[in-house]
Amino acid sequence: MADPKELLRLMRELDDQLVSCMRCGMCQAVCPVYAETGRETDVARGKIALLEGLARDMVKDAAGVKNRLDKCLLCGSCAANCPSGVKVLDIFLKARTILAGYLGLSPVKKAIFQGMLAHPRLFNSILGLAAKFQGIFTKPVNEMLGSSCSRVLSGAIGNRHFATLADKPLRTLVGALNTPAGKSGLKVAFYPGCLADKIFPRVGLAVIKVLNHHGVGIYLPEVQACCGIPALASGDMQTFEDLVAANVAFYGGADYDVLVTPCATCTSTIKKVWPTMSTGLAPATREKALAMAEKAMDINAFLVDKLGVAPVAPSQERAKGALKITYHDPCHLKKSLGVSTQPRTVLSQNPDYTLVEMAGCDSCCGCGGSFNLQHYEMSKHIGMVKRDNIAATGASVVATGCPACMLQITDMLSQAGDDIRVKHPVELYAEALP
Amino acid sequence: MISDALVKEFQILVGKDNVLESEVDKYAYSYDSAVLDPVAPGLVVRPTTSEALGRVVKLCNDNALPLTVRGAGTNLSGGTIPRKGGVVVLTNALSQILEINEADMYAIVQPGVITAKFAAAVAAKGLFYPPDPGSQAVSTLGGNVAENAGGLRGLKYGVTKDYVMGVEFFDVDGNLVKSGSRTVKCVTGLNLAQLMVGSEGTLGVFNSIILKLVPPPVAQKAMMAIFDDVNKASETVAAIIANKIVPATLEFMDNFTIRTVEDFSKAGLPVEAKALLLIEVDGHPVQVEEDAAKVEALCKEHGAQRIQVAKSAEERNKVWEARRAALSALARVSPTTVLEDATVPRSKIPAMISALEAIAKKYQLTIGTFGHAGDGNLHPTILTDRRNLEEWHRVEAAVDEIFDVALSLGGTLSGEHGIGMAKSRYMEKECGTGTILFSRKLKKALDPKSILNPGKILGD
């Protein structure tokens, strides 16, 4: 456990960022958690005030502050709507790091993050093993969604309708890749992210198909490490930095134009969080991490902005017999990276569907990574609002550009018994290709 | 210190989940949007029914506990900062629109209804609720009435007080008091409804409010007039009013604000302009055309370099987005943003603007000025860092002088932000001793134990 004085010193380092909050309270209008509870400690203004109180020694209960701080989806809605431009996520991630350092990680999280995630090779093999045996623990309840209800681990997993681990992760299916640039003249490093690797390898396969179609060379190393956001969100800076360094080792030496990922959260972490939070890395490693961050790009944005995939306008002829599709804007794509038109353009490549926008298409689905594990009931309440908006469109498919959102939405739709598929825009594009 | 037994009584009234007593939870209700020191309450309660609300008020009074009602806590004068050890009563669980009556054009709301949500619900029924304070996306109607909130449309449509037809509130004994009615005319009893408007939670606790609705304007036209001289712009404001044209909105931005907004929003504002006027006329289409033409002519006559008339709804939105971004953009420049709202009779706008420039120079401060020029309510915004004590003293001196100038021009301390704790010590300057004494007698009679938001408006 760190020295409380050290905590205070670190807190004062945050001072410049904390004072930029003018307490206007506009975050109350957009915070999905506040909308559920109406509690000031749940909204960014309240959390920032608590941190300031702690830094100024006006609040004593650091564990209490950490507890309120953890009750956050890290969706970035507040930051995107903040009149003063407060770097809310930066503040929260730093503060979680400081508080966790002070209070010590909970034993469970320590085991998960330091043991498994920090050792990507081990992580890959553990999950690979789990996939083989999970059939024993789960029973299928909604075949179409590919989710299953926990039979045994009810204490830990509750009533979630988890999308199951894939039989074979993407790595096993395609192995390492290193193909030269084709007609596009571009080569990408492909970073699938943990979820597209292990839960939704079909998304990874779709990315590869689309890239091949456009003549884009692909570099995919045999292993990747987690982008680090779950560790950082728990305040585990050491694991976070180890993971960034591991990814630098896997990707840093390769020659490529763009680093693409199909995961909104991974893209936003690599692009926005790596540069601000990995300051403790060795200079050479940090330089490579910054270069990766500079090149990181969402797959939808890459297809539209780099390859020139153009929107296909819905024609009357095409609308005939077409199925309805709706699109959910992941917070980490729209609010963090400003990517919202490109996934819709990618969707429009598939002639079998017409897009019907849902109400609140850019409101958070309630997943928020470990928030979902710690505050499942609230996560579900927020998710069910999203589910209702999806169902109201009458769409047979909901697309979204983030596998974490895909997990949450799959859970919600499955629990409501909806006959609606959840897909990544790239999957829909891939389906339309020969 | 509130005893455990008393905490239990509150829990019985509102439910255990709606009583917050931990240090951390209470600290989150120690501030509002005013630049003032936080004060943590002794307890926070969140009633979910009218009955519980009334009983909470009575329980506070029976135990002489200071009580501060809080909506969204967006107050700019410290009106929702509680008394140390007192009780904060949250209204955000009392957020029902009880009725929107299209035939009689009124609505009845609970105090915790969000202003913008209400305005949208009213618009969906083809009616219009004009008051639009800057915080409307989160502010509550109870708070708007308690502070008599204004907004951009004050010039033509008035402010919150002009839409309050009646109120129901709890007195300190928990009795329900009713004043006003659903009717356009009502002279039944003392006009307590208007006494409650702007009373900042010092006289009673709102249970429900009857609000007037009006038909929406059929047509609008927005334009932007660009000036190379601040005086020309401010004289144009005075001239528009003197020519008996009442635009719905008539907003001013100085050069510093223009540059800051442009840096932030890239909306295409003319950064070389010394001042901008953003003007919107609304009403019957024929009159809108006529008024717009007159306004354009007046702007040119008074030396506007250029006038851009919005040709589409999109262009119109652009004009107002630029204005709405003003405070946001200024707030990004420095750690502390002091937003003032001293107000002068509108013909005195030119004098006020020159005085603000002189004050900025004298105290070597960065002041961005924008605001509701058409109704005399400017927002000189001082950009500073409160941690720099030397500069902070200059800020305080500058604020004092802004008030002095406003009063000397026949103006007032606050146009729309309220007195709260921030301005109570200046009250006597504007109103005189007699007013303070009268108000204190009134307060003493209605709230003998001084539990209702003590220290606000009248000091201690």
Predicted ipTM of the assembly: 0.93
Q: Residue A18: its chain B contacts at CB < 8 A? A: none
Judge: B337–A38 Cβ closer than 8 Å, yes or no: no
What is the DSSP code string of B48-75?
-SHHHHHHHHHHHHHTT--EEEESS---
Residue B301 sits in the same domain as residue B277? yes
In this predicted structure, what is the pLDDT of residue B98? 98
Mean pLDDT in each 10-residue stretch from start to end of chain B (460 residues)? Answer: 94 97 97 94 98 98 98 96 97 98 98 97 98 94 97 94 98 97 94 97 98 96 94 92 93 93 84 94 95 96 93 84 83 88 91 95 95 92 92 95 96 94 93 95 97 94
Assign a CATH topology to domain A4-104. Fumarate Reductase Iron-sulfur Protein; Chain B, domain 2 (1.10.1060)
- Mutation site for B-interface testing, chosen from A15, A19, A24, A71 by largest number of B Cβ within 10 Å: A24
d(CA A82, CA B325): 11
- Which residues contact residue B165 at a Cβ distance below 8 angstroms, ignoring those fewer than 6 apart? B106, B180, B181, B182, B183, B186, B193, B210, B211, B212
For B22-42, the pLDDT digits (tens) are: 999 999 999 999 989 999 999
Q: Does A12 touch chain B (CB under 8 A)?
A: no
- Residues of chain B with C-beta less than 8 angstroms from the C-beta of A38: 46, 90, 92-93
Q: Does B163 touch chain A (CB under 8 A)?
A: no
Specify the CATH number for the domain of residue B17.
Answer: 3.30.43.10
Q: Number of A:B CB contacts under 8 A?
A: 91
Is residue B190 assigned to a domain? yes
Chain A hits for B114, CB-CB cut-off 8 Å, are 29
> CA A424 to CA A426: how far, in whole Å?
5
Is some CB atom of chain A closer than 8 A to the CB atom of B33?
yes
Where do the structural domains in chain A lie, given as residue ranges? 4-104, 316-432
State how many domains chain B has. Answer: 4
Which CATH number is B160's domain given? 3.30.465.10
Return per-residue pLDDT of chain A as tens, 434 residues.
344 444 455 556 677 788 888 899 999 999 999 998 999 999 999 999 998 888 777 888 888 888 898 888 888 899 988 888 898 988 888 788 777 766 665 555 445 544 544 455 544 544 444 443 343 333 333 333 333 322 222 333 445 555 566 778 888 888 899 999 999 999 999 999 988 888 899 999 999 999 999 999 999 998 888 898 888 887 778 888 888 999 999 998 889 999 999 999 999 999 999 998 888 889 999 999 999 999 999 999 999 999 999 888 776 666 666 889 999 999 999 999 999 999 999 999 998 999 999 999 999 999 876 677 678 888 889 999 999 999 999 999 999 999 989 988 998 998 898 999 999 999 999 999 98
- Domain A316-432 has what CATH class? alpha beta
Whether B73 contacts chain A with CB within 8 A: yes
Residue A360, classified by CB atoms within 10 Å of its CB into exposed (0-12), middle (13-18) or buried (19+), is middle
| pLDDT confidence of residue A149 | 29
| Distances, alpha carbon B350 to alpha carbons B169, B229, B233, B255, B401, in Å | 42, 11, 8, 15, 17
The domain that contains B278 carries what CATH number? 3.40.462.10
C-alpha B77/C-alpha A184 separation (Å) is 60
- pLDDT, residue B393, reads 96
CB contact under 8 A, B328 and A83: yes
Cross-chain residue pair A19–B335, CB shorter than 8 Å: yes
Q: Is B414 inside any structural domain?
A: no
CA nearest to A44 within chain B: B28
Chain A touched by B32 (CB under 8 Å): yes
Integer Cα distance of B327 and B331 in angstroms: 6
Domain ranges, residue B156: 97-212
Cα torsion B352, B353, B358, B361 to 10°: value is 140
Q: Which two tokens stand for residue B417?
A: 């932000």
For residue A371, the model assigns a pLDDT of: 75
The beta-carbon neighbor of A50 closest among B28, B35, B92 is: B28
In angstroms, the separation between the Cα of residue B198 and the nearest Cα of chain A is 20
Q: What is the DSSP letter of B399?
A: H
Query: Does residue B371 fall inside a structural domain?
Result: yes
Query: Which of B64, B90, B116 corresponds to the end of one domain?
Result: B90
**DSSP structure class, residue B386:** T
Whether A246 and A207 have beta carbons less than 8 Å apart is answered as no
**Cβ B30–A49 below 8 Å, yes or no?**
yes
Nearest CA in chain A to B28: A46
Question: Which token pair is B123?
Answer: 């618009």
Asked which of B90, B111, B130 is the last residue of a domain, the reply is B90
Q: Please identify, among B212, B230, B248, the residue that sits at the C-terminal boundary of a domain.
A: B212
Q: Are residues B151 and B294 in the same domain?
A: no
CA distance A272 to chain B (A): 20
Contact A40 B29 (CB under 8 A): yes
Helix (H), strand (E), coil (C) string for chain A: CCCHHHHHHHHHHCHHHHHCCCCCCHHHHCCHHHHHHCCHHHCHHHHHHHHHHHHCCCCCCHHHHHHHHHCCCCCCHHHHCCCCCCCHHHHHHHHHHHHHHHHCCCHHHHHHHHHHHCCHHHHHHHHHHHHHHHHHHEEEEEHHHCEEEECCCHHHHCCCEEECCCCCCHHHHHCCEECCCCCCCCEEEECCHHHHHHCCHHHHHHHHHHHHHCCCEEEECCCCCCCCHHHHHCCCHHHHHHHHHHHHHHHCCCCCCEEEECCHHHHHHHHHHHHHHCCCCCHHHHHHHHHHHHHEEEHHHHHHHHCCCCCCCCCHHHHCCCEEEEEECCHHHHHHHCCCHHHHHHHCCCCCEEECCCCCCCCCCCCCCHHHHHCHHHHHHHHHHHHHHHHHCCCCEEEECCHHHHHHHHHHHHHHCCCCEEECHHHHHHHHCC
